[in-house]
Amino acid sequence: MSLLAVESLVVAHGDLVAVRDVSFNIEEGGVFVLLGANGAGKTSILRAISGLNPPRSGTIASDGRNLAGLKPHEVAAAGIAHVPEGRRVFPHLSVEDNLTVSFLVRRTNLKLAQARDNVYALFPRLAERRRQNGGTLSGGEQQMLAIGRAMMNFPRLLMLDEPSLGLSPLLAETVFERLGEISKLGLTILLVEQNAIALRLATRGLILTNGQVVLLGEVSALQDSEFVRHSYLGL
Amino acid sequence: MSGLLVGGVYGILAVGLSLAFGVMRIINFAHGELVMYGMFAGVVASRMLGIDPLLILPISFLVGALIGVAQYQIVFRHFVGQATLQQLLAAIGCALVLQMIAQLIFGADARTATSIFSGQYIVFGPFFLSKAQIVAFVIAASTTLAVSLLLNATAWGKAVRAVADDVEAAEIVGINSSTVNIGAFALSAGLAGLAGTVLVTYFPVTPVIGFSLMPMIIIACTIGGLGSLGGTFIGGICCGVIQQITAMMWNSALQDVPLYVLLLAFIAWRPTGLFGSRVE
Ligand SMILES: Nc1ncnc2c1ncn2[C@@H]1O[C@H](COP(=O)(O)OP(=O)(O)OP(=O)(O)O)[C@@H](O)[C@H]1O
Ligand SMILES: [Mg+2]
């Protein structure tokens, strides 16, 4: 059974159909990348999976368990973490409290402080800023916090929506490096990106255009695709 | 000086409203009715059971919280995140129903309750102060402090503030925002109930008192900043002090006039109040 199985997914915002008939499976391990231009429907897919935007039709299952109708916090409890577009850290909570409130699901035997220390080990920068409010962090630090927050629930699948958006190339590089480390720890990653660096990290993926899958497969196939050559390599 | 004491009670009356707004963006126009039930709880204790109203504060809190949860389940949960006109009308409807029920149970007459401090005064320098008001202020201030601690130092309180900051983000990290909302609303309503019982030790209650308390509650919230609990409490104190000064210097019949002017000024120039609108 797949860690995540998306079948004939349709997502609509009112009359606008943002995602049409999208199907893909993610197996345990590795980085699955979801590429697409602005407005392709990437965020809509992630929000449907995490229960923020219930789909119009189609099924989403994790290890055979149907996620339809679950509230976002129940999806989180099922081991699917979502690092949302725009980071969305809690601006008036300290870094430490951002992590603390993200530890309610208890998917681990670790104590709160140990879980936080794991995150601080991954992002030492956050440890230095632990008393600072989320809203006063730099964009890169907020992204680290958003990822760290998602790690607090010890998810099986970590979904990230354009983590490099708005970051300097150097910072984006750092974030992707950390994601590589997280992936090596055995955590499966679903990475939504427009940034071509994502391909270096990925094992499999798909390309989305106008809400539809135009290519699904190994990362080598994606790299050779016209979409990637055209958008990222300028060919 | 007695303006300060009265203002502290305005503060605690307003803190609950401010909390519900900060977390859920709901303005509970029936907040004054929750206060009214807290006041009647004090009357029942004092007149029928012969118990000092100040001893039943936990029960008053529960009375307020229970009515609040009923309000939330029936009305407000449909309006979370939207302080719309419909929400206001629903809240006013809610207030009228609560008034009617009180009228049926308690009748329309003004009732009072007496605590061991009622009707006693102490002289403090040039001031002549009601003991009931001093006690009321102390309870109001310490309750506000306790709520602030609850929100800032406990896991539940932090979850409440997370929901206030960003409901969606709170949900995706695993916080059940519906239960957090019910809890926060119950706390808000419980505070109103508790404040009512404190108030009735020096101020008589009628079933329609809610609507006469509401302007002061709103002004306190506007000055302090809807959502900011400490700010709201200070806003309440400002109201009490300004009222008192106006009554002394000018005319007690016009004591609320500067407050309304101030309300308009804040709405025009600083709608987020002195302390902004974040929950803390
Ligand atoms: N809440 C909404 N209401 C109405 N339309 C929406 C809403 N959210 C998204 N859309 C529309 O759905 C389509 C897909 O949007 P989506 O955010 O999923 O794209 P995306 O691939 O994440 O784009 P980007 O790379 O810019 O983040 C777009 O046409 C967008 O305008
Ligand atoms: Mg997007």
Residues B198-235: tens digit of each pLDDT: 999 999 999 999 999 998 898 898 888 887 888 899 99
Which pLDDT band, with edges at 50, 70 and 90, does A232 fall under?
low
Q: Is residue A213, in this structure, part of any structural domain at all?
A: yes
Decide if pLDDT at A28 tops 80. yes
Tell me the CB-side half-sphere exposure of residue A141, using CA atoms within 13 A: 21
A198 vs A154, which has greater pLDDT? A154
* Position A197 pLDDT exceeds 90: no
Comparison of pLDDT for A231 and A208, the residue scoring more: A208
pLDDT score of A128 = 96
Q: Nearest 5°: phi and psi at B251?
A: -165, 125
Contact state of A101 with B168 under an 8 Å Cβ cutoff: no
Whether the per-residue pLDDT at A31 is higher than 80: the answer is yes
Q: Which residues on chain A place their C-beta less than 8 Å from a C-beta of chain B?
A: 50-52, 71-73, 75-77, 81-82, 84, 88-93, 97-98, 100-102, 104-105, 149-150, 152-153
pLDDT in tens, B93-146: 999 999 999 999 998 888 888 888 887 888 877 778 888 889 999 999 999 999
Of residues B159, B186, B157, B185, the one with CA closest to residue B170: B159
Domain count for chain A: 1
Asked if residue A109 belongs to a domain, the reply is no
pLDDT tens digit sequence for A131-164: 999 999 999 999 999 999 999 999 999 999 999 9
Q: What pLDDT was estimated at residue A121?
A: 95
- What local confidence, expressed as pLDDT, does residue B227 receive? 78
**A205/A225 Cα distance (integer angstroms):** 12
Whole-number pLDDT of residue B226: 81
pLDDT value at A233 more than 70? no
Q: CB of A106 closer than 6 A to ligand 1? A: no
Ligand 1 atom index nearest CA of A40 = 21
Is A175 in contact with A144 (CB distance < 8 Å)?
yes
Most confident of A225-229, B242-246, B259-263, B270-274: B242-246
* A10 lies in some domain: yes
Residue-level pLDDT at B280: 65
Complex confidence, ipTM: 0.93
Q: Check pocket membership of A15 for ligand 1, CB cut-off 6 A.
A: no
Q: What is the mean pLDDT of chain B?
A: 89
Q: What is the CATH number of the domain that holds A167?
A: 3.40.50.300
pLDDT band at A196 (very low <50, low <70, confident <90, very high): confident
Q: How far is B30 from chain A (nearest CA, A)?
A: 29
In a domain, A30, yes or no: yes
Residue of chain A whose alpha carbon sits nearest to that of B162: A90
CB-based contact B236:B244 (threshold 8 Å) = no
Cα end-to-end span (Å), chain A: 39
Backbone angles phi, psi at A82, to 5 degrees: -125, 120
| A73 contacts B176? CB cut-off 8 A | yes
Kind plus residue range of the DSSP H or E element containing A200: helix A198-201
Over residues B152-158, the mean pLDDT reads 93
Amino acid at residue number B2: S
- What are B's interface residues with A at a Cβ cutoff of 8 A? 155, 158-159, 161-162, 164-166, 168-178, 278-280
Residue A58 lies in a domain: yes
Q: Is residue A225 part of a domain?
A: yes
CA of A38 to the centre of ligand 2 (A): 7
pLDDT of residue B169: 97
In a domain, A47, yes or no: yes
Determine the Cα–Cα distance for residues A219 and A31; give it in Å rounded to an integer.
10
Are residues B228 and B7 in contact, defined by beta-carbon separation less than 8 angstroms? Answer: no
Model confidence at B173, in pLDDT bands (50, 70, 90)?
very high
pLDDT at A231 over 90: no
Q: Spell out which residues have Cβ within 5 A of ligand 2, the ion.
A: A 43, 85
Nearest chain B Cα distance for residue A48, angstroms: 12
Q: Are A90 and B181 contacting, i.e. CB atoms less than 8 angstroms apart? A: no
The answer to whether residue A122 is domain-embedded is no
Residue type, B54: L
pLDDT at position B270 over 80: no
* Cβ burial, residue A221 (10 Å; 0-12/13-18/19+): middle
Q: What is the pLDDT of residue A100?
A: 95
pLDDT at position B125 = 79
The closest residue, in CA terms, to atom 4 on ligand 1 is: A13
Structural tokens at position A15: 């009359």
Say if strands A16-26 and A4-13 run parallel, antiparallel, or are unpaired: antiparallel
Confidence band for A83, pLDDT divided at 50, 70 and 90: very high
Q: How high is the pLDDT of residue B117?
A: 84
Distance CA A108, CA A115 (A): 9
How far, in Å, from the CA of A55 to the mean position of ligand 1? 14
**A36 within ligand 1 shell (Cβ under 6 A):** yes
CB-CB contact of A163 with A147 (8 Å): yes
Task: State whether the beta carbon of A189 lies less than 6 angstroms from ligand 1.
Answer: no
Ligand 1 site-directed mutation target among A10, A17, A20, A44, most atoms within 8 Å of CB? A44
pLDDT at A195 over 90: no
The Cα B74–Cα B189 span in angstroms is 15
Alpha carbon distance A23, A128 (integer Å): 42
What's the confidence (pLDDT) of residue A105?
73
Q: Which domain holds residue A35?
A: 4-87+155-231
A72–B162: do the CB atoms touch at under 8 Å? no
- Provide the β-strand partners of residue A177: none
Distance separating alpha carbons of residues B40 and B77, to the nearest angstrom: 26
Residue B279's pLDDT band, with cuts at 50, 70 and 90, is low
Q: Of A75-84, B85-94, B264-273, which one has max mean pLDDT?
A: A75-84
Q: Residue B41 pLDDT > 60, yes or no?
A: yes
Confidence band of B260 (pLDDT split at 50, 70, 90): confident
* Res A159: pLDDT: 97
pLDDT over 70 percentage in chain B: 98
Which pLDDT value is given to residue B256? Answer: 78
Residue A177 structure tokens: 């490096």
Instruction: Tell me the residue type at A3.
Output: L
- A108 pLDDT band, cuts 50/70/90, is confident
Contact B169 A73 (CB under 8 A): no
Overall pTM > 0.95: no
Check CB contact under 8 Å for A90 and B175: no
Instruction: State yes or no: pLDDT of A213 exceeds 90.
Output: yes
Asked if B171 and A153 touch (Cβ cutoff 8 Å), the reply is no
- Whether B107 contacts B51, CB under 8 Å: no
Pick the residue of B151, B154, B172, B228 with the most A CBs within 10 A to test the interface with A by mutation: B172
Confidence of residue A234 (pLDDT cuts 50, 70, 90): low
- Give chain B's length: 280
Chain B nearest CA to A13, separation (Å): 17
